[in-house]
């Protein structure tokens, strides 16, 4: 009898604790009035940038807008969450995600009117087009350019040879310690090396009939690639010494802002640091080899995607295709992160006060859209390592052949 | 008693909190398990008897939740092709393929859209009020088709969206958004396809190019007539040329992942070399940190040393700092041209350029990262050794070094050997130590897949995630192999320790 009473008391107490827990929990989750909400995921920088315009739209339309920052591995986090049915309604990210997002069925194509299409930069639209469908609304475009310290090198070099000669001259005079700063690192950086690789005649993937990249046509296994690697080797540690493995993405900025070199080959994301350092700079296209092909950088596009598994998909489509294309939104995003807006009207507006934007766009106008096909994921690592090894003096021919073989083995 | 009530209440609260989502997702098996576990907990603790179970239950539950379940989950994943393009079910894949193939019907018009209802905005039937972009003619679209909208009383916005129409309630964007579930299935059938919404203020006439046909278990392209047949062994739709559609689904692949690990020529060729380096890395790291930590501990344990506390606090600093930042800092210090180490010694060593120097570099970093831990545990163990043992030794005429070697050190080992085995197992899979410092490099120019300082775990990571996106199934299979290796070494290690204890 005594035991049973204790049991009863325990159960009652347990229930009370439980009820207390439920009470506080229920109150918190009830705050969303109608339950209509729009959730946007972006990285730290862009989540701050989009917040104001998104909230404004929400207030206007009586929709609660939640902007959430995912600081690391946004693409993987998004795909995993979307697959589990816990993803957002909209997600912001680079255009080369599209291939992976599509194969995982986590992004929906968008239907834009001809007017809307015409309002965007052609190259940016090309970036978000995959298998003939547009998958995202572009909001930034970026490519590698040449930053030049105008105190040290007043003239923009017309060729890569001129650039190296000027760098050597400055180095001999003791004014700088490095000919140029292009991130290589111990394991390579295929993105930054790409303009030099293309100027030397190499290519990554051939293009199919519709202008899409064709994973079956791998440029690395062609003789042009071996020749291009030879020229990369000539610029490397055993040659001119312009490319070095000790220069990596982590220290290029400080090498240029610390005036250890007159030339930095990198993208618009360097502008804030360069400007802060007070180094007088000028932005020009990356020069190619004398008599070689044009140095074509990779062009990347940042875009807003509508999630396939989003809870409020119509609302998300409305936001992306009818509000996100407004110039004010594009300008707000530009202010948070200075990269050229692909929306023509917004670009014109920001160009009035920021001449660098036009220079960046100009440097990338003949660039190659970064391949969005999933096969590209297999290329970065082997290609970078092969380039790094070549810079370090490894035989170019066999090195590029090994990289090509590794990539072909992965593509299958 | 009060604590018991509170804890049991908490258990019940957590159980019910966990039950709601399970019920919502109709996970009856999970729910049954939850009820069972909760019932067992109450059955054990509400009784004055069952004392042994009271002690065993918490540990057992945590063991199940944090050890057994992850291992089982990893093993079951190893039998699937779970990974990018194979994450969801076949239905998901079909839906994605059909959804991705919806295109605008050629030459069709664009419409301005107003979502409206017949009657109540929350429950009334959805209709589309559509205005032609060009002609500004308005129509009503229902699930039966299009019909003209009587122009009387109809108001248009400057863009052409209907803002007022007698008999219909125009929904605001927010209110239309709330009807998502009805909107998702709503379209206005037309001759060539259907008018579907693009957002909530525009609509277009579209048709899916590809559709699933149950009869042939295949996807058919309406325009080209091409078909892709479902292949249940690979979880893909494949055409007669062997080309597959990008979107696949998850299937059971049996032992294929394990077979791939064993037969992969790259894995076979470099596995042994990597295993040897991996063992050497773990063993040298443990030996090095232990030797240095013990040395410092012995020195600082001397009674006559002043300022022991200050030294001790300074020495644990590396242990207290965030490992990620430290690893990156060390990587930069080893930089050939700009690194602190080469500058300080006036050398020009390309540390991560040669296998031997790269190995030395990662070992040095681990030595620095790891010795404070060994110092801490060795200090603790030293202080727990009774002082009279040392005294007795010195009375017997043993020199300090001899006494340390024959008495203190064996006693220390008894206490520290299990920790060293744990440290070995940890360093065997010390992913960050390699990935953040050398990334596994340097890589031989003819092989970008496996570097000189790669551990099995970093190598696996590259194999599983460096290629065509994430291949969780394959990675899980490799993990099972690594698990077996570590398990074997740990078993041998613990056997040895038992032998040590018998000395005691």
CATH of the domain at B31: 1.20.58
Identify which of B429, B431, B438, B430 has the alpha carbon closest to the alpha carbon of residue B486: B429
User: Which CATH architecture does the domain made up of A5-141+301-364 adopt?
Assistant: 3-Layer(aba) Sandwich (3.40)
Cβ–Cβ below 8 Å for A398 and B445: yes
CB contact (8 A) between residue A13 and residue B6: yes
Q: Same structural domain for residues B35 and B128?
A: no
| Interface mutation vs chain B, best among A9, A177, A246, A383, most B CBs within 10 Å | A246
Q: How far apart are CA A207 and CA B301, in angstroms?
A: 71
User: Who among B177, B198, B468 is closest to A374 (CB)?
Assistant: B468
Residue A91 pLDDT greater than 60, yes or no: yes
pLDDT in tens, A60-90: 888 999 999 998 889 989 998 998 888 999 9
Q: Are strands B125-132 and B138-142 parallel, antiparallel or unpaired?
A: antiparallel
**Superfamily for domain range A145-296+373-411:** Periplasmic binding protein-like II (3.40.190.10)
Lowest mean pLDDT among A23-32, A184-193, A307-316, A390-399: A23-32
Supply the mean pLDDT for chain A.
88
B325 in contact with chain A, both atoms CB, cutoff 8 A: no
User: Could you read off the pLDDT of A137-147 as tens digits, one per residue?
Assistant: 999 999 999 99
Report the 10 Å Cβ neighbour count for B344. 9
Domain co-membership, B34 together with B125: no
Judging contacts by C-beta atoms under 8 Å, the chain B residues touching residue A245 are: 336, 350, 352-353
Among B383, B449, B452, which Cα is nearest to A381's?
B449
Per the structure block, which two tokens stand in for A175? 């004014």
Indicate the helix (H) or strand (E) that contains B285: helix B265-300
Q: Which residues have a Cβ under 8 Å from the Cβ of B99 and sit 6 or more positions away? A: A105, A108, A109, A308, B208
Q: Which residues of B touch A180 (CB under 8 A)?
A: none
pLDDT at residue A208 is higher than 90: no
Q: Do B317 and B450 belong to one domain?
A: yes
**Structure ipTM over 0.90, yes or no:** no
Query: Does residue A402 belong to the interface with chain B, where contact is any CB pair within 8 Å?
Result: yes
Is B353's CB within 8 Å of A245's CB? yes
Instruction: Give A-chain residues touching B97 at CB under 8 angstroms.
Output: 105
Contact: A109, B442; criterion CB under 8 Å: no
Residue holding tokens 């009271």?
B54
pLDDT at residue A19, as a whole number:
43
Query: What separation, in Å, do the N-terminal and C-terminal C-alpha atoms of chain A show?
Result: 74
Would you state the pLDDT for residue A34?
A: 61
Q: How many domains does one find in chain B?
A: 3
* Cα–Cα distance for residue pair A348/A69, rounded to 1 Å: 29
Q: Taking CB atoms and an 8 Å limit, are B173 and A392 in contact across chains?
A: no
A375 touches chain B (CB under 8 A): yes
Which residues, given as ranges, of chain B have pLDDT below 70? Answer: 446, 466-469, 499-504
What are φ and ψ of residue A39, in 5° steps?
-110, 130
State the CATH number of the domain containing residue B355.
1.10.3720.10
- β-pair partners for B27: none
Q: Which residue has the tokens 């007088």?
A: A280
Name the maximum alpha-carbon separation found in chain A: 101
- Residue B219 domain-assigned (yes or no): no
Pairing of strands A298-306, A368-369: parallel
pLDDT value, residue A8 = 46
Say whether B200 and A317 touch across the interface (CB within 8 A). Answer: yes
Q: Is residue B126 part of a domain?
A: yes
Give the residue from A121, A50, A45 showing the smallest Cα distance to A358.
Answer: A121
Cα B149 to Cα B141: distance, rounded to the nearest angstrom: 9
**Residue A127, CA atoms < 13 Å, CB-side half-sphere:** 32
pLDDT at A256 over 90: yes
Q: Least CB-CB distance to B439: which of A36, A187, A255?
A: A187
Mutation to test the A interface, candidates B47, B91, B98, B100, most A Cβ within 10 Å: B100
Residue B354 contacts A, CB cutoff 8 Å: no
Residue A349, SS3? helix
Phi first, then psi: give them for residue B324, nearest 5 degrees. Answer: -55, -50
pLDDT at position B249: 92
If contacts are CB pairs under 8 Å, which of residues 102-161 in chain B contact chain A?
A: 102-104, 110, 133
Q: Which residues, 6+ apart, have CB-to-CB distance to B359 below 8 Å?
A: B277, B281, B452, B453
**Residue A3: per-residue pLDDT:** 44
How large is the average pLDDT for residues A304-320?
Answer: 92
pLDDT of residue A412: 64
Q: Rounded to an integer, what is the distance from CA A281 to the centroid of its chain?
A: 23
Do B44 and B143 lie in one domain? The reply is no
Phi, psi of A265 (to 5 degrees): -105, 100
Residue B94 in any domain: the answer is no
Q: Best mutation site among B21, B101, B173, B437 for testing chain A: the one with the most A CBs within 10 Å? A: B173
Residues B51 and B109 in one domain: no
Only one residue has tokens 């972009």, namely B133
Backbone phi, psi, residue B497, to 5°:
-60, -40
Question: Closest chain A residue to B46 measured between Cα atoms?
Answer: A7
Q: Which helix (H) or strand (E) covers residue A112, if one does?
A: none
Query: Closest to B448 (Cβ–Cβ): which among A35, A314, A406?
Result: A406
Please provide the distance, in angstroms rounded to a whole number, between the alpha carbons at the two ends of chain B: 42
CA A264 from chain centre, in angstroms, equals 19
Instruction: Flag whether residue A389 sits within 8 Å of chain B, measured between CB atoms.
Output: yes
- Cβ-based contacts of B48 with chain A (< 8 Å): 3
Residue A33 has pLDDT above 60, yes or no: no
Match 């240095």 to its residue by tokens. Answer: B292
> Which of B430, B410, B417 lies closest to B493, judged by CA?
B417
Query: Which chain B positions have a beta carbon within 8 Å of A374's beta carbon?
Result: 84-85, 246, 468-469
Residue B76 near residue B257 (C-beta atoms within 8 A): no
Interior CA angle at A166 toward A162 and A167, to 5°?
Answer: 115
- In angstroms, the CA B451 to CA B355 distance is 8
Task: Round to whole Å and give the CA distance between B40 and B50.
Answer: 11
Tell me, yes or no, if A171 comes closer than 8 A to chain B by beta carbon.
no
The reply to whether A8 touches chain B by the CB within 8 Å rule is no
Q: CB–CB of A85/A311 below 8 Å?
A: no
pLDDT at A370 over 80: yes
Query: Which pLDDT score, from 0 to 100, does residue A45 have?
Result: 87
- Please report whether residue B234 resides in a domain: no
Domain that holds residue B16: 2-77
Q: Which residues of A touch B26 (CB under 8 A)?
A: none
Tell whether A71 is within 8 A of chain B (Cβ): no
A147-202 confidence digits (pLDDT tens): 999 999 999 999 999 999 999 999 999 999 999 999 999 889 999 999 999 999 99
Q: Answer whether B470's CB lies under 8 Å from B464's CB.
A: yes
Q: Considering Cα of A105, then B115, then A62, then B136, what sign does the dihedral take?
A: positive
Chain B residue numbers with beta carbons less than 8 Å from the beta carbon of A25 are 17
Residue A20 has pLDDT above 50, yes or no: no
B453's tokens: 């300082």
Sign of torsion over alpha carbons A40, A44, A47, A50? negative
Tens-place pLDDT, residues A225-247: 999 999 999 999 999 999 999 99
Q: What is the pLDDT of residues B84-105, one digit of tens each?
A: 888 888 988 998 998 888 888 8
Q: Is some CB atom of chain A closer than 8 A to the CB atom of B4?
A: yes
DSSP annotation string for B169-235: EEPPHHHHHHTHHHHHT--EE-SSSEEEEETTTEEEEEEESEEEETTTTEEEETTT--EEEEETTTT
- Do residue B390 and residue B433 come from a single domain? yes
- Secondary structure element (H or E) that encloses residue A395, with its range: none
Question: Reduced to 3 states, what is the DSSP secondary structure of residue A207?
Answer: strand
Nearest to B178 among A34, A132, A248 (CB): A34
> What pLDDT score was predicted for residue B468?
54
Cis status of the peptide bond prior to B13, with omega within 30 of 0: no
Is residue B351 assigned to a domain?
Answer: yes
Backbone angles phi, psi at B364, to 5 degrees: -60, -45
Interval A98-118: pLDDT, tens: 999 999 999 999 988 888 999
A377·B467 Cβ contact <8 A? yes
Residue A23 has pLDDT above 50, yes or no: no
3-class secondary-structure state, position A10: helix
User: What residue of B is the nearest CA neighbor of A34?
Assistant: B178
Rounded distance, CA B494 to CA B490, Å? Answer: 6
Which chain A residue has its CA at the smallest distance from B353's CA?
A: A186
Cα–Cα distance, A255 to B381 (Å, whole number): 49
Q: What is the pLDDT of residue B492?
A: 85
CA separation for the pair A49, A59 (Å, rounded): 17
- Give how far Cα B58 sits from Cα of A11, A210, B41, B55, Å: 20, 62, 9, 7
For chain B, how long is the longest CA-to-CA vector?
117
- Asked if residue B248 is part of any domain, the answer here is no
Q: Strands of A70-118 (E only): list them.
A: 90-94
Provide φ and ψ at B204, rounded to 5°.
Answer: -145, 160
For the record, the structure tokens of B319 come out as 């242990």
Return the structure tokens found at A124. 């940016």
| All CATH 3.40.190.10 domain ranges in chain A, comma separated | 5-141+301-364, 145-296+373-411
Cα(A333)–Cα(A302) distance, integer angstroms = 11
Flag if A320 and B199 touch (Cβ within 8 Å). yes
B358 and B477 both lie in a single domain: yes
8 A C-beta contact, residue B18 and residue B55: no
What is the structure's pLDDT at A73?
84
With contacts defined as CB-CB under 8 Å, which chain B residues touch A395? 445
Do B50 and B122 share a structural domain? no
| Residues B6 and B120 both lie in one domain | no
H or E element at residue B125: strand B125-132
Residue position matching structure tokens 């392209």: B221
CA distance B486 to chain A (A): 29
Contact assignment for B246 to A374 by CB distance below 8 Å: yes
Work out the pLDDT band at A24, boundaries 50, 70, 90.
very low
Q: Kindly state whether residue B244 falls inside one of the protein's structural domains.
A: no
Q: How far is A262 from chain B (nearest CA, A)?
A: 17
Same structural domain, B129 and B192: yes
Give Cα A403 to chain centroid, integer Å: 24
Which residue in B467, B474, B475 has the most chain A C-beta atoms within 10 A of its own C-beta, making it the best mutation to test that interface?
B467
Q: In this complex, do A381 and B462 lie within 8 Å of one another by their Cβ atoms?
A: yes
Interchain proximity A113–B110, CB inside 8 Å: yes
Tokens 């700092």 sit on residue:
B321
| Angle at B482 (CA atoms; ends A375, B458), nearest 5 degrees | 45
Sequential DSSP letters for B451-479: -TT--HHHHHHHHHHSSSS--HHHHHHHH
Length of chain A: 412
Between A and B, how many residue pairs show a Cβ–Cβ distance under 8 A? 219
- The answer for A222, left when phi > 0, alpha when psi is -120 to 50, beta otherwise, is beta
Return the structure tokens found at B349.
């060593």
User: What was the pLDDT predicted at A388?
Assistant: 93
């Amino acid at each position: 009898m005594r035991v049973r009473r204790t049991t009863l008391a325990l159960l009652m107490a347990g229930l009370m604790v439980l009820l207390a827990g439920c009470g506080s929990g229920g109150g918190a989750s009830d705050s969303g009035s109608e339950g209509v909400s729009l959730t946007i995921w972006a990285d730290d920088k862009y989540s701050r940038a989009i917040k104001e315009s998104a909230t404004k739209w929400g207030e206007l339309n009586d929709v609660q807008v939640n902007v959430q920052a995912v600081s690391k591995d946004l693409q993987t986090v998004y795909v995993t969450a979307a697959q589990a049915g816990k993803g957002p309604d909209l997600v912001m990210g680079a255009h080369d995600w599209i291939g992976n997002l599509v194969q995982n069925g986590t992004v929906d194509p968008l239907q834009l009117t001809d007017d809307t299409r015409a309002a965007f930069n052609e190259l940016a639209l090309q970036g978000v087009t995959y298998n003939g469908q547009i998958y995202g609304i572009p909001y930034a475009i970026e490519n590698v350019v040449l930053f030049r310290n105008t105190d040290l090198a007043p003239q923009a070099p017309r060729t890569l040879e001129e650039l190296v000669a000027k760098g050597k001259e400055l180095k001999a005079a003791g004014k700088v310690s490095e000919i140029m700063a292009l991130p290589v690192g111990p394991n390579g950086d295929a993105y930054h090396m790409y303009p030099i690789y293309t100027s030397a005649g190499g290519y990554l993937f051939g293009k199919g009939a519709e202008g899409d990249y064709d994973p079956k046509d791998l440029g690395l296994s062609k003789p042009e690639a071996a020749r291009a690697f030879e020229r990369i080797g000539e610029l490397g540690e055993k040659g001119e010494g312009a490319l070095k493995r000790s220069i990596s993405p982590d220290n290029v900025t400080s090498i240029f802002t610390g005036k250890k070199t007159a030339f930095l080959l990198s993208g618009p994301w360097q502008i804030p640091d360069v400007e802060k350092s007070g180094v007088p700079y000028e932005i020009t296209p990356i020069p190619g080899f004398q008599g070689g092909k044009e140095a074509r950088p990779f062009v990347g596009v940042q875009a807003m995607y509508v999630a396939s598994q989003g809870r409020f998909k119509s609302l998300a489509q409305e936001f992306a295709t009818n509000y996100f294309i407004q110039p004010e939104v594009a300008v707000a995003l530009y202010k948070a992160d200075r990269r050229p807006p692909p929306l023509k009207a917004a670009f014109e507006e920001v160009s009035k006060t920021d001449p660098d934007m036009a220079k960046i766009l100009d440097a990338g106008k003949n660039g190659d859209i970064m391949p969005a096909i999933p096969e590209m994921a297999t290329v970065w690592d082997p290609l970078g390592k092969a380039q790094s090894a070549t810079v370090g003096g490894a035989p170019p021919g066999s090195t590029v052949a090994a990289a090509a073989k590794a990539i072909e083995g992965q593509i299958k | 008693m009060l604590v018991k009530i509170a804890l049991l209440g908490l258990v019940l609260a957590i159980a019910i909190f966990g039950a709601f989502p399970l019920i919502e997702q109709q996970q009856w098996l999970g729910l049954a398990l939850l009820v069972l576990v909760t019932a067992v907990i109450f059955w054990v603790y509400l009784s004055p008897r069952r004392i042994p179970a009271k002690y065993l239950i918490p540990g057992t539950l945590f063991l199940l939740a944090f050890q057994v379940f992850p291992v089982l989950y990893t093993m079951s994943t190893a039998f699937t092709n779970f990974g990018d393009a194979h994450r969801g079910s076949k239905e998901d894949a079909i839906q994605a393929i059909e959804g991705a193939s919806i295109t605008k019907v050629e030459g069709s018009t664009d419409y301005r859209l107003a979502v409206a209802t017949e009657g109540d905005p929350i429950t009334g039937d959805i209709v589309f009020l559509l205005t032609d972009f060009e002609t500004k003619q308005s129509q009503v679209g229902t699930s039966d088709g299009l019909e003209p909208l009587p122009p009387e009383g109809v108001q248009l916005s400057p863009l052409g969206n209907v803002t007022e129409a007698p008999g219909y309630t125009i929904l605001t964007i927010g209110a239309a958004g709330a009807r998502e579930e009805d909107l998702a299935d709503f379209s206005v059938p037309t001759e060539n396809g259907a008018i579907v919404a693009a957002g909530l203020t525009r609509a277009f006439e579209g048709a899916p190019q590809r559709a699933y046909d149950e009869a042939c278990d295949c996807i058919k392209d309406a325009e080209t007539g091409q078909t892709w047949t479902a292949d249940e062994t690979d979880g893909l739709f494949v055409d007669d040329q062997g080309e597959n559609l990008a979107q696949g689904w998850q299937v059971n692949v049996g032992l294929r992942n394990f077979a791939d690990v064993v037969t992969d020529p790259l894995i076979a060729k470099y596995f042994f070399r990597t295993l040897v380096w991996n063992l050497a890395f773990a063993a040298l790291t443990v030996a090095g940190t232990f030797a240095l930590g013990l040395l410092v501990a012995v020195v600082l344990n001397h009674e006559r040393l002043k300022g022991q506390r200050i030294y001790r606090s300074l020495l644990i600093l590396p242990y207290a700092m965030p490992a990620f930042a430290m690893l990156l800092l060390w990587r930069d210090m080893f930089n050939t041209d700009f690194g602190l180490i080469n500058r300080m010694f006036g050398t020009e060593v390309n540390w991560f350029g040669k296998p031997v120097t790269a190995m030395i570099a990662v070992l040095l970093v681990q030595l620095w990262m790891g010795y404070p831990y060994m110092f801490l545990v060795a200090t603790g163990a030293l202080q727990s050794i009774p002082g009279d043992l040392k005294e007795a030794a010195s009375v017997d005429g043993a020199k300090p070094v001899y006494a340390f070697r024959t008495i203190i050190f064996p006693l220390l080992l008894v206490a520290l050997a299990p920790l060293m085995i744990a440290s070995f197992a940890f360093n065997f899979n010390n992913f960050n130590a390699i990935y953040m410092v050398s990334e596994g490099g340097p890589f031989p120019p003819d092989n970008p897949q496996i570097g000189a300082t790669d551990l099995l775990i970093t190598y696996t990571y590259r194999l599983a995630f460096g290629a065509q996106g994430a291949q969780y199934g394959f990675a899980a299979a490799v993990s099972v192999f690594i698990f077996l290796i570590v398990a074997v070494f740990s078993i041998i290690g613990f056997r040895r320790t038992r032998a040590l204890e018998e000395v005691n």
